[in-house]
Structure 1
Amino acid sequence: MSFDEIEDILFLEESYNKDSPASIGKSLLLNRLVFSGKKSTGETVAFDQTLYNGINIWIADNHKGKSTIFKIIKFALTGNDSIKKDIKPWIEEILLEFTIGKVTYTCHIDRTGRDRGSLYRFTIEQYKTYKSEFKLDVIEKQVEFSFNSRQDLEDKLQSFFFEQFSFYILKYTQKSSAKDSFDLNTSSLSWSTYFKSIYLESNNYEHLFFEQEKIGLQGKKIFEMVLGLPLTYPINMLKIQQDRVNENIGKIKLVDKSRIDTAKTSKEELDKRYQEVIKELESAGQNSGITFQERPLIEEYSAIQHKVNKIRKEQRDFTEFYQAEKTKLNRIEDEFSNLQNDRRKVDAEILRLQKQELNMDLYRQSQSFFTNLDIKACPHCEIKVSDDKKEKEKEQHICSLCGEESKEQKIEEAEILQKSSQIQQEIKIHNERLAKITKSLDEKSILIKDVKKKAEDYSAKISLSPSIEMDNKRLNEIEDEIALIAREREKHKDKVEKKEELIKEQAVLNFQLEEIKRNQSTIISDELDNLNFKKTVLEFALSALEKKRSLLNKDILGKLEALILKEVNAFGLKSITKVIISEKYELIYTQNDVQIGFNDLSEGEKLRAKLAFYLSLIQLDIEHSLGRHPRFLIFDSPGSEEMVPQHLKGLAEIFKDINNRFEKELQIFVGSALREFSQITDEDRTFIKKEDEFVF
């Protein structure tokens, strides 16, 4: 395998040097918690608590709401809702104000309906002011993010806190819970999981982190993340890849083993059946003489059918062409007839106009003749017509002979000439139209002859098409012969089918036997070779990274070991003389010269050792600027009412000592029913409820 292929195996999306134990210099400080709603009894819920540095303690009887306060805080910081189902409907609105570094945030959650709200970059007081002034919708620059569901809140809080404290997702694999499944499921450590190093719930004091911390080595991974141990990211990602490679190798080997086992158990059966098939084929040899020669008949039938179809197609085509030409001829003849009618009409119109023109000309000539006559005397009495009467006739249209006024107006010659000109123009137009009609008639006449010729040609081709009568007769004969063969085959159907089945089975058996033989010599596939090489590369890389990390972590782990030992001794566990963090990142205590693990401690010792461990994580940041712990802890019901007075007093003194030493450096919330804890911190940070009184 080449260097590039090895590089591909070891390639990661992010840098191998992603992790750093150096402190980011940030801590998480809660300033104020407000939530409201209504209990099922109708009683109003209105909780508003200012929170301080150092230890803040709530003292109240069991089941009076201490854990609910912590779970509301957890919900507002992680989006993981573990509030009891019967109490959850009471809470309608949550406001949590906290500071990271120098920036103050307020998480607002509206629980009326689907969870929704925003994370703002200002205090609760500012939120209330903006809300009262209806300005919450116009302060986008001060909104870190908004959400519209609980899952949306959880996802966005994870991204937010991952960025703030340089956390990220670590993964682990675990076997699928499905029955008979060899698959591995990949799970991830979320911000909610890492929060278990902050919120120490009452049911987890027997464990360093939480009850299921060994599943996928989640406790170890929380430890690695909180410390920011170098090379955590590449080791985690390559380990996941290694688990997947081992999973695939296991599957292939399982398949190969199954294949070999199957081959061994079935080879004898296959051989036995193969011999039986050979014998059955030999005994069926007499059937080999049975043959059915329908193939030539089918081929002949197909050829004749093709010929008949071709002739029929030609006849259909010629008929269609003939009909098309006849239709075309009828249309053209109709057009020719219409043109002839048009020509007759135009001829008649021209003749009419010519007559009209002749009449106009005669009228003009006659009028001119009579108008130019000079009347000298009356033709009846021969009395002379005076010049005055002639003038009067011209001016007043009174006849110079009879003296009567003329009622008819004479048509002027100019008007007659104009009318005559119009008639001549119409005659010209009609002559032009007549010429076009005549031309079209000539063209149509030629076209009619051409179409008639084509129609006659197609008619002749139809007449000359060969007859298919004999072909149809032969087709019927072949059909009868094939039907006869089919009846004969039916008589021997079982024998023929049996022989065909035996031949097929022989081929299948032969293939199966050859496959078994081939597989026996090639059990390990190329894929398995590649996976084994990949496994070797990953094992080498992980081994080298672990060795390098061991050297890199020596200083930080040594300092943490010293801090843990110092704290467990300060908390009264003087019998513990040494603390070692193993290669698997497990705490090993030397107690009375015997090495023991955390789970080997007594109940009272576990609580003190756990307090010492988490306090040391915070001290590592305070004193050495190492690690990523947010310096915020929640202890829910540490100790129990059954503790002996000496241990109870000692635990109270431990908390008091922590508060005195680290008041300004961290923040710890304690919830307890033990009244003995009332003096572990200042009065303004101690919230005590009377017996049987609820916290809210």
Structure 2
Amino acid sequence: MTTNQATAAQWLDAIAAKASVPVATVQSVLDRHGIEPQATLPRRRRVTVRSVTLKGEKMGTDQDGPFDRTWKFGTGLWAVLSDRNSRGKSSLLNVIQSSIRGEFPGRIKPDVWRWLSHVEAEFDVDAVAYRIIVEKPSGDDALETVRGTFSRRSGGDDWLDLYQGPAGQHLALAVEDALMTELAFTKFHAFNESGQSTTHSWPAISSALFVSGPGNAIFGEIRVDAMPLRLLQLFMGLPWISTYSAASTALKRVQANQRERRGKPDKATPRLRERLDAVERALNGARRRYRPAVDRARLRLDLVTRDAELVTLRNAVDEVRGQAGALEQQLTGARTILADTRRALQQLRDDRAAGVVFRQLKPVCCPSCETGIDSTKYQAAEAAEVCAVCGTRHTEADPEEAIRLVDLEADVEDAAASVARLETEVATTTRAMRAAEAKLADALKAIHGIEAEMASEGEAELELEIRGLEAQAEQLHGLIAETEGQTASDAAPDDEKILIATVAVTKSLYDGLAREILSEASQEITRLSRLFGVENVESMEWGTGGALSIVQGGTPTSFTKLNLGERLRVRIAAALAIIAVSRKRQFGRHPGLLVLDSPAAQEMTGVDFAALLASVQQAIDQTDDIQIIVGAVARPELRDVVLGGHQYHAEGDSFLF
């Protein structure tokens, strides 16, 4: 079988041969664990943001009042600029991120979210247009008042509503279902050694399309469960990857269960005996118990009513748990951004402080020959604006450094506000979850009370209860006898063997192609990183395990050991490298969208940042299917790089909206 020609039937035959079992047995095990073949090379699909409209009313600012603004975008490099910070750049980019993910308010700042009354975004997946509309009263930030509509264009100006209702988890799921289907993405399943199973879907995948800092991973915001590697494999468009992921997860789960059984072979019987003792005590109590008859009709009606309430309460608990999990993930990303930005700010402050200290030194003698320096020489040097020791003429401090300091301080403030907002939301949602769980527990307790009351009615009911308890006791006696004679090796003898074979066979089907693609991607990311200004890079090589091995200045290093500015450049280069290789091979899954928020804050001068964007423009000039949207403080050298029609600029003290 060649790497990209194996059929599902050949795959099954290979697994059966490797595991030495019939094909029917292999199919049965794979069906039980939900493992399906995915052998087709994917066709690359594009996501393009077309427009964003914001309406509402500003409150508590120097420019209060209504606003209604629309921004139109297309393919290529676009810039959202302002002459000052806090003019709405990040807010606009955060609205784009919320729209693509269907999560509101997402990372939109609390004050901006309060202003908004209408958010509308249109984006294309290839030739299919989608639109998301979120509406709420301006000045109100209560989530229960927010309504969302998610639609697909059905022809002309007509839109087919795919979802209409509260703008919460259900809206996010509607967007996730549509885009996962359109982009032919599958969910990632992971199972760790502690026995926890996790599913990663559109939020984790789409995070790789938004870069707000250097990050700790080349792709996305999540490092657990090998997500950077999984995203790399996904964007490369390898066949059999989702099949391998599902088989690997199932194997880990089965092996963990086997280890648990081998490690605790003698604990089942004590638990069963404890249960048997409890049943026998209940049986003896039932035989002695007698109560007057109760109103069974009333109890049954009450039980039906409470059962209906229980379904509603369970749904409420599931919904708030999902909200809590999503907020925790956002909070983790926000804390990472805040920590990275604070480190960059502190480093810049330290550099400036060191320069001030050295300039204030006034040695009393020459450090080389110990010849004394007369104090009058300092006075003469100051008058001539030269150094008294070496005679070098003083130069003015770099104005770019002061601008970068102001930018970083504003970024830290924004990041801290986002963390504070998310921590408040997490705490609120956690309290709501605990309250919902408490209501559910109370409902279950009430139902159990009704059932107990019905089961203890009169002699006829007592007889039924006694028979039921006697049946339980007999069943427990049988389970104890069976467990005591059972060995750990009796459980699912074929599953582990077949899953091991499945993992090995599936990996062999894509491993060769993966090495070929990674070799091309390694050459491309090395070329682009040099073009983007990563200094002294001799080589970069992606391994099949997802690690990026780097040789810089003759020394081996890794992505996380690069400085902040270099990591940002490499993240941009990685996305463009995967897109370039996908275009060359005519398959792949990177959607071709990249949104960069204030990248110049990461150890880059205005000149360096302009040079980076010029290199990005050069990298995408040869194609019409990439869209990069950048938010930044406007500078002349930057405005010269981006086409005039691709700029939105808030000049002076004005705001973007």
Same fold (TM over 0.5): yes
1:201 counterpart = 2:223? no
1:695 counterpart = 2:634? no
Counterpart selection for 2:524 from 535, 558, 563: 563
1:223 counterpart = 2:232? yes
Q: CA deviation at 1:15?
A: 7.4
The code of the aligned residue for 1:108 comes to I
Q: Are 1:58 and 1:66, in contact at CA under 8 Å, matched by a contact in 2?
A: yes
Cα distance in 2 for residues equivalent to 1:49 and 1:197: 23
Q: Are 1:33 and 1:49, in contact at CA under 8 Å, matched by a contact in 2?
A: yes
Q: Name the residue aligned to 1:161.
A: 179
**Partner deviation per Cα, 1:42-61 (whole Å, 9 max, x = no partner):** 52131211213211111223
Q: Name the residue aligned to 1:494.
A: none
Q: Are 2:149 and 2:161, in contact at CA under 8 Å, matched by a contact in 1?
A: no
1:241 counterpart = 2:263? no
The code of the aligned residue for 1:95 comes to E
Q: Are 1:55 and 1:681, in contact at CA under 8 Å, matched by a contact in 2?
A: yes
- The TM-score normalised by the length of structure 1 is 0.54
The code of the aligned residue for 1:190 comes to S
What stretches of structure 2 of length at least 5 have no aligned partner?
1-19, 138-144, 272-479
Sort the Cα spacing of 1:614 and 1:12 in 2 relative to 1 into closer, same or farther, 3 A: farther
Q: Are 2:595 and 2:630, in contact at CA under 8 Å, matched by a contact in 1?
A: yes
Counterpart selection for 2:201 from 186, 190, 206: 190
Q: CA deviation at 1:208?
A: 1.1
Q: Are 2:162 and 2:174, in contact at CA under 8 Å, matched by a contact in 1?
A: no
Sort the Cα spacing of 1:253 and 1:261 in 2 relative to 1 into closer, same or farther, 3 A: farther
The code of the aligned residue for 2:516 comes to D
1:94 counterpart = 2:126? no
Sort the Cα spacing of 1:605 and 1:231 in 2 relative to 1 into closer, same or farther, 3 A: same
The code of the aligned residue for 2:150 comes to S
Cα distance in 1 for residues equivalent to 2:266 and 2:491: 18
Cα distance in 2 for residues equivalent to 1:547 and 1:256: 36
Q: Name the residue aligned to 1:618.
A: 579
Q: CA deviation at 1:90?
A: 1.7
Q: Name the residue aligned to 1:597.
A: 558
Cα distance in 2 for residues equivalent to 1:637 and 1:17: 42
1:665 counterpart = 2:616? no
Cα distance in 2 for residues equivalent to 1:93 and 1:645: 35
Identify the range of structure 1 (155-164 vs 33-42) with the bigger mean alpha-carbon deviation.
Answer: 33-42
- Mapping of 1:389-468 within 5 angstroms? none
3-state secondary structure, aligned to 1:121: strand
Q: CA deviation at 1:672?
A: 1.4
Cα distance in 2 for residues equivalent to 1:101 and 1:648: 31
1:44 counterpart = 2:44? no
Q: CA deviation at 1:630?
A: 1.3
Q: CA deviation at 1:565?
A: 2.3
1:85 counterpart = 2:110? yes
Cα distance in 1 for residues equivalent to 2:603 and 2:518: 36
Q: CA deviation at 1:84?
A: 2.2
Q: Are 2:119 and 2:135, in contact at CA under 8 Å, matched by a contact in 1?
A: yes
Counterpart selection for 1:552 from 513, 531, 546: 513
Q: Name the residue aligned to 1:312.
A: none
Sort the Cα spacing of 1:210 and 1:165 in 2 relative to 1 into closer, same or farther, 3 A: closer
Cα distance in 2 for residues equivalent to 1:163 and 1:633: 20
Number of residues of Structure 1 aligned to a counterpart in Structure 2: 415
**Partner deviation per Cα, 1:442-472 (whole Å, 9 max, x = no partner):** xxxxxxxxxxxxxxxxxxxxxxxxxxxxxxx
Q: Are 1:659 and 1:680, in contact at CA under 8 Å, matched by a contact in 2?
A: no
Q: Name the residue aligned to 1:476.
A: none
1:73 counterpart = 2:96? yes
Counterpart selection for 1:116 from 141, 148, 151: 148
Determine what percentage of the aligned residue pairs are the same residue: 17
Structure index of larger Rg? 1
Root mean square deviation of aligned Cα:
3.3
Q: Are 1:230 and 1:552, in contact at CA under 8 Å, matched by a contact in 2?
A: no
Q: CA deviation at 1:215?
A: 0.9
The code of the aligned residue for 2:211 comes to L
- Mapping of 1:334-373 within 5 angstroms? none
Cα distance in 1 for residues equivalent to 2:131 and 2:588: 26
The code of the aligned residue for 2:522 comes to E
Cα distance in 1 for residues equivalent to 2:585 and 2:199: 30
Q: Are 1:73 and 1:96, in contact at CA under 8 Å, matched by a contact in 2?
A: yes
Sort the Cα spacing of 1:153 and 1:249 in 2 relative to 1 into closer, same or farther, 3 A: same
3-state secondary structure, aligned to 1:639: helix
1:35 counterpart = 2:54? yes
Sort the Cα spacing of 1:254 and 1:673 in 2 relative to 1 into closer, same or farther, 3 A: farther
Q: Are 1:249 and 1:531, in contact at CA under 8 Å, matched by a contact in 2?
A: no
Q: CA deviation at 1:161?
A: 0.9
- Mapping of 1:478-497 within 5 angstroms? none
Q: Are 2:217 and 2:223, in contact at CA under 8 Å, matched by a contact in 1?
A: no
The code of the aligned residue for 1:55 comes to L
Q: CA deviation at 1:2?
A: 5.5
Cα distance in 2 for residues equivalent to 1:122 and 1:195: 25
1:256 counterpart = 2:269? no
**Partner deviation per Cα, 1:211-267 (whole Å, 9 max, x = no partner):** 4x22111222222222221211221111221221122123223323779999xxxxx
The code of the aligned residue for 2:99 comes to A
Q: CA deviation at 1:111?
A: 3.1
Q: Name the residue aligned to 1:539.
A: 500
The code of the aligned residue for 1:666 comes to I
Q: Name the residue aligned to 2:170.
A: 152
3-state secondary structure, aligned to 1:606: helix
- The TM-score normalised by the length of structure 2 is 0.57
3-state secondary structure, aligned to 1:695: coil
The code of the aligned residue for 1:44 comes to P
Q: Name the residue aligned to 1:398.
A: none
Q: Name the residue aligned to 2:287.
A: none
Sort the Cα spacing of 1:658 and 1:680 in 2 relative to 1 into closer, same or farther, 3 A: farther
Q: CA deviation at 1:166?
A: 0.7
Q: CA deviation at 1:119?
A: 1.0
Q: Are 2:533 and 2:612, in contact at CA under 8 Å, matched by a contact in 1?
A: no
Q: CA deviation at 1:76?
A: 1.7
The code of the aligned residue for 2:95 comes to I
The code of the aligned residue for 1:11 comes to D
Q: Are 1:76 and 1:109, in contact at CA under 8 Å, matched by a contact in 2?
A: no
